[in-house]
Structure 1
Amino acid sequence: MKVSNIGIFKGMNRKMSIISIFLILISVFFTGYFPKKSESFLQNIRELLNPFLEWYYVLLVAFLLFLMIWLGMGRYRNVRLGSDAEQPEFTFFSWVSMLFAAGTGVGILFWSVAQPIMQFQNNPFTNSNMNPEAAIVGLSLSYFHWGLNGWAIFSFIAITMAYFAYRHNYPLTIRSALYPILGKKVDGPLGDIVDILAVFGTIFGIATTLGLGVQQMNAGLSHVLGIKSSLSFQLIVMVVIMVIATISVVSGVSKGVKLLSVGNFWLSIFVLAFLLVYGPTQYLIGITIEATGTYVQDIIKLTFHTNVTRDSDWQTVWTVFFWGWWIAWSPFVGMFIARISRGRTFGEFVAGVLLTPTLITIIWIGLFGGTALYEQLFMGKDVISAVNTDVSAALFIMLKNMDIGFMSEIMSILMIVLIATYLITSANAGTLVITTILASGSISPPSGHRALWGVIMTLLTGVLIVAGGLKTLQAAVITAALPFSVIIITMVAGLLKSLSLENTPARSGNQEITAREPWILDDEVGEEGVLIDELNPEVKRLEEPEYK
């Protein structure tokens, strides 16, 4: 995985960068020059793939969920993402506080109101006709698409990348996980294909999220300032967001990005507290608890639902789209989570990455979606019609219906700011992840290429919006995720093969791990206690004393 030392591709893998740029620009050209044909093509591809993806994505995500639970609770739970004596880089609170912002952000802001309302009025799991019982089901279905199953995808990519990077000293790239399967071939064309597919899925996943966020910002500005929603205004907003993100990349304003992230966290806490105090408090607490119970009871049934009866399009509209979105987004979020998880054991990692963000998501959707459902059921507000007319305006319609006077406008402005900051930080981090992969795992890829990919990301998002908006964005991300799903399956094989070399014998009680690197074979101990990594022979470590 050599990087160039000269020219415009200095610090980057020249061949991979050229191929990736070419493929994305071809997509941008055809989508922008033939928007109607591109929309029709993507929709046709989605319709063709839907019957296959209805069971394929379901089976893959179900397997990843159970795999992660096993990794966190089984014989490998004490394997550490690093050397045996290494301690976590971040405190538990700092670590888990970063997980939620990394994995959801703009997406949950877009869907936290719209999805519960849409699930409330149409889903295949209740015969109730939009009554309070149907509201509970609608909220629990939203939990399903934003809960454990989705985070299982993120956590698998993250734990696999972190394991090979910190325990075997491989570059922080997707291809590193395939070394146990492909051997030295990962340094050749096969490895390039793997990382290019990761780039391809990532940029379409980010473009979809940016497109949704821009549409929602446009809707918010329309409600607050009376600016008419239009395609041209959405493109202007998108360009402004990406210019700010690109400037921060080129100038190295890392402190500004960090301040935005911290501000996002506290502003989110404030918004949740506001809804709990000024909203229907008792109802919100009650429906959140009850919907959580319904979600827990139904998770196995929902996880394996494949729409075999073909009695509705719910599965393709919701589950297939969300699983595709999570898969496409996973290289980006996975790399970020891997970067902040060094020193964690598998058990700590799984508990933190699966449970903590899911709990935060349940509270977030419970308060936002619960408020909208209360307005529809008990305040006489026609939230359903408003959401069906413009799904991107759902959040601001809910705030307006709270009847809290000027406070609703203030809250709408705060939400617009929150969306904008999430978009900026997501775009910034997205360019970092893409260029890190193309720089063969370098933690400091050239800023010029980060700026270039910021421009490419802007172009792709813009043409997808022009080509058909939400439906085209959904079709694009579902299609782009499919090739990377094959890579995920291969990564599973690579991780399990490598873990089989860990020195964690089955025994009763707590399983212990010796201080010696567990993938080292006894006959591979060299002179003066130097250990040779069986997977990466070029890496040698000093043998450490055993500890309990």
Structure 2
Amino acid sequence: MNKVTSVFWITLGIALFAVAWGSIAPENLQTITGAIQSFISVHFGWYYLLIVSGFVIFCLYMIVSPYGKIRLGKPTDKPEYNYLTWFAMLFSAGMGIGLVFWGAAEPIYFYATNAPTTETGTPAAIKEAMQFAYLHWGIHAWAIYATVALVLAYFKFRHGAPALISSTLKPIFGDKMDGPWGRLIDVIAVFATIVGVATTLGFGASQINGGLTYLTPITESFGVQVIIIAVVTVLFMISAYTGLSKGIKYLSNANMFLAISLITIMFIVGPTLFILNMFTDTFGAYLQNLPSMSFRLAPTSEENRQWINSWTVFYWAWWISWSPFVGIFIARVSKGRTIREFLSGVLLVPSVLGFLWFATFGSSAIQVQQDGEANIADLATEQAMFGTFDQYPLGLLMSIVAMVLIGTFFITSADSATFVLGMQTTNGSLTPPTAVKFVWGIIQSSMAAVLLYSGGLQALQNALISSAFPFSLLMILMVISLYKALRADKAEIDRQKEKDKAKSSA
């Protein structure tokens, strides 16, 4: 533990306080986080929509700009992982449990119970349900991750800076980032990561419990969820002990295999033609309506505004709170790629995979609902996927594969997060001590259990939106800092080219 910095001890103290608070006074924690979440959603919903769309525009600009040719590393550096392993790692770290949790639940809920703007249960509601699922899980989400990852990878691999959020702001604030202000920034990033990952672990435990309840006599309860969290904690600690190149790499490839197997089975036994037609139609509608959906705030309709706060603003906060963790992890595995190659891969490939996922499972659930075979919309959110499987051939097999997939996603998310938290609290070390990773693993799991105890899924959402807000301000500064550094870097490259040209012509 001799490598740890003051950021480790400060954040550990804050996290232990939060865990103790939730254990001793769960209702008080739920009330206060709920009030913070409500205030931010109501007064700063416009802010979330603007900055996240801004990150999308920034990433697209960087792809087509002259800066796209700059390599994340030295000019001779080559990527450490091949494309398939790289994409598997991106997908596992960036989405994981959430896709399985919401794959059927979100489209069916929008269609049958709570459509964004249209009447529920109508053909228009189907189309709108899929479009908004694409919005929440597509380009915008990955632009948030890509922005943080790009900034970190650029400063780490091109300029040799520590893999810390604070170190990326030196072009703006200089040596101030080596003192208390830098530590404050890193504490904000670490705490946002803990809450973001704990929320996802809570969702994962809830869905594994929901699947067991749907398939077996096991009841859905907090006690069962704690047991699930404990078992997975042991498993991801074993994975963390083996290190990045072994544990996370193998599990990420296993995740990709299981996810492809699950979606392939569903595509074959499900309403194949309906899925293909729905994907083609709704993907086109998504592209057509992307600008209006991105900035939709409904200031004159309280009901529509509440929907945006509960869904779109929540998702943007979720991705922002996850972005320190996912961004650092993506940066760590992306050395040697050009900015253009990096952003194209991070933005487009996982987004398209997510669209196919929602089209397959969402369309299958909607087909069941339309035919009256089962009322999927009335099931608990965590059981919607299993209820859909139950209405198709090989349903039990798909449920088992999904349970295993949630488990492996659970492990890779927590494993990757302990690695990243270890980096952030040991001055950016790429090989943080195992003991540090174990401490953060226990803290994450404890936080997930406390949030479930203090108010279930709603408490998870409250904590997310509350923790994401301060880090979103840091993201804006990171973009400004990167652009400032890139302009200087590009000018230096151009000067060197002119010198080389002058020498060759002399």
TM category (shorter chain) comes to over 0.9
Pick from 35, 43, 51 the counterpart of residue 52 of structure 1: 43
Matched residue type, 2:442:
V
Alignment of 1:61 with 2:48, yes or no, is no
Pick from 338, 343, 351 the counterpart of residue 350 of structure 1: 343
Which residue pairs with 1:365 in the alignment? 358
Counterpart Cα distance in 1 of 2:246 and 2:55: 36
For the Cα contact (< 8 Å) 1:17–1:438, is it kept in 2?
yes
Q: 1:302 Cα deviation (Å)?
A: 0.9
For the Cα contact (< 8 Å) 2:88–2:255, is it kept in 1?
no
Q: 1:330 Cα deviation (Å)?
A: 0.4
Counterpart Cα distance in 2 of 1:170 and 1:130: 54
Give secondary structure in 1 for the equivalent of 2:299: coil
Alignment of 1:334 with 2:308, yes or no, is no
Which residue pairs with 2:451 in the alignment? 464
Alignment of 1:173 with 2:173, yes or no, is no
Matched residue type, 2:268:
V
Alignment of 1:408 with 2:399, yes or no, is no
Alignment RMSD (CA, Å): 2.0
Which residue pairs with 2:386 in the alignment? 396
Which residue pairs with 1:429 in the alignment? 416
Q: 1:288 Cα deviation (Å)?
A: 1.1
Pick from 487, 491, 504 the counterpart of residue 500 of structure 1: 487
Counterpart Cα distance in 2 of 1:356 and 1:250: 30
Q: 1:123 Cα deviation (Å)?
A: 5.2
Counterpart Cα distance in 2 of 1:255 and 1:229: 34
Q: 1:253 Cα deviation (Å)?
A: 9.0
Give secondary structure in 1 for the equivalent of 2:163: coil
Matched residue type, 1:394:
A
Which residue pairs with 2:472 in the alignment? 485
Alignment of 1:99 with 2:86, yes or no, is no
Give secondary structure in 1 for the equivalent of 2:364: helix
Pick from 197, 200, 206 the counterpart of residue 188 of structure 2: 197
Give secondary structure in 2 for the equivalent of 1:81: coil
Flag structure 2 segments of 5+ consecutive residues without an equivalent: none
1:69-108 matches, within 5 Å, as 69-108=60-99
Counterpart Cα distance in 2 of 1:187 and 1:103: 30
For the Cα contact (< 8 Å) 1:132–1:377, is it kept in 2?
no
TM-score w.r.t. the length of structure 2 is: 0.95
Which residue pairs with 2:2 in the alignment? 10
Q: 1:516 Cα deviation (Å)?
A: 4.8
Counterpart Cα distance in 2 of 1:253 and 1:284: 37
CA distance 1:338–1:376, shift in 2 (3 Å): same
For the Cα contact (< 8 Å) 2:151–2:478, is it kept in 1?
yes
CA distance 1:294–1:253, shift in 2 (3 Å): closer
Which 10-residue stretch deviates more, 76-85 or 195-204? 76-85
Q: 1:307 Cα deviation (Å)?
A: 2.7
For the Cα contact (< 8 Å) 2:88–2:252, is it kept in 1?
no
Which residue pairs with 1:534 in the alignment? none
User: Larger radius of gyration, structure 1 or 2?
Assistant: 1
Alpha-carbon displacement from aligned partner over 1:325-374 (angstroms, at most 9, x marks no partner): 00000011111111121121111112111111110000011101110011
Q: 1:249 Cα deviation (Å)?
A: 2.6
For the Cα contact (< 8 Å) 1:53–1:320, is it kept in 2?
no
Give secondary structure in 1 for the equivalent of 2:100: helix
CA distance 1:241–1:517, shift in 2 (3 Å): farther
Which residue pairs with 1:380 in the alignment? 373
For the Cα contact (< 8 Å) 2:373–2:391, is it kept in 1?
no
Matched residue type, 1:435:
G
Structure with the larger RCO, 1 or 2 (CA within 8 Å, 6+ apart): 2
Alpha-carbon displacement from aligned partner over 1:379-433 (angstroms, at most 9, x marks no partner): 43211122xxx1111111111122x2xx212221111111011111111111110
Alignment of 1:115 with 2:115, yes or no, is no
Which residue pairs with 1:419 in the alignment? 406
Q: 1:116 Cα deviation (Å)?
A: 0.5
Alignment of 1:314 with 2:334, yes or no, is no
For the Cα contact (< 8 Å) 2:146–2:346, is it kept in 1?
yes
Q: 1:87 Cα deviation (Å)?
A: 3.1
Which 10-residue stretch deviates more, 248-257 or 423-432? 248-257
Q: What is the aligned length?
A: 500
Q: Which structure shows the bigger proportion of residues in helix conformation?
A: 2
Alignment of 1:268 with 2:259, yes or no, is yes
Q: 1:212 Cα deviation (Å)?
A: 0.2
Share of identical aligned residues, percent?
Answer: 36
Alignment of 1:23 with 2:14, yes or no, is yes
Matched residue type, 2:17:
I
Matched residue type, 2:381:
V
Which residue pairs with 1:473 in the alignment? 460
Alpha-carbon displacement from aligned partner over 1:251-310 (angstroms, at most 9, x marks no partner): 659634433222211111111110111001100111011111111111100111123123
Counterpart Cα distance in 1 of 2:166 and 2:124: 47
Counterpart Cα distance in 2 of 1:62 and 1:258: 32
For the Cα contact (< 8 Å) 1:464–1:473, is it kept in 2?
yes
Which residue pairs with 1:43 in the alignment? 34
Pick from 268, 272, 287 the counterpart of residue 281 of structure 1: 272
Flag structure 1 segments of 5+ consecutive residues without an equivalent: 1-8, 506-512, 523-528, 530-544
Q: 1:517 Cα deviation (Å)?
A: 9.9
Matched residue type, 2:387:
I
Counterpart Cα distance in 2 of 1:288 and 1:229: 34
Alignment of 1:219 with 2:210, yes or no, is yes
Counterpart Cα distance in 2 of 1:66 and 1:300: 11
Q: 1:88 Cα deviation (Å)?
A: 2.8
For the Cα contact (< 8 Å) 2:59–2:343, is it kept in 1?
yes
Q: 1:245 Cα deviation (Å)?
A: 1.4
Matched residue type, 1:503:
K
Q: 1:101 Cα deviation (Å)?
A: 1.6
Give secondary structure in 2 for the equivalent of 1:171: coil
Counterpart Cα distance in 2 of 1:39 and 1:345: 44
Which 10-residue stretch deviates more, 223-232 or 367-376? 223-232
For the Cα contact (< 8 Å) 1:431–1:454, is it kept in 2?
yes
Alpha-carbon displacement from aligned partner over 1:52-88 (angstroms, at most 9, x marks no partner): 2210111110111101110111131211111234333
For the Cα contact (< 8 Å) 1:173–1:440, is it kept in 2?
yes
Give secondary structure in 1 for the equivalent of 2:67: coil
Counterpart Cα distance in 1 of 2:468 and 2:422: 19
Alpha-carbon displacement from aligned partner over 1:495-540 (angstroms, at most 9, x marks no partner): 11111212359xxxxxxx559599xxx9xxxxxx9xxxxxxxxxxx
CA distance 1:265–1:191, shift in 2 (3 Å): same
Matched residue type, 1:26:
F
Counterpart Cα distance in 1 of 2:497 and 2:319: 33
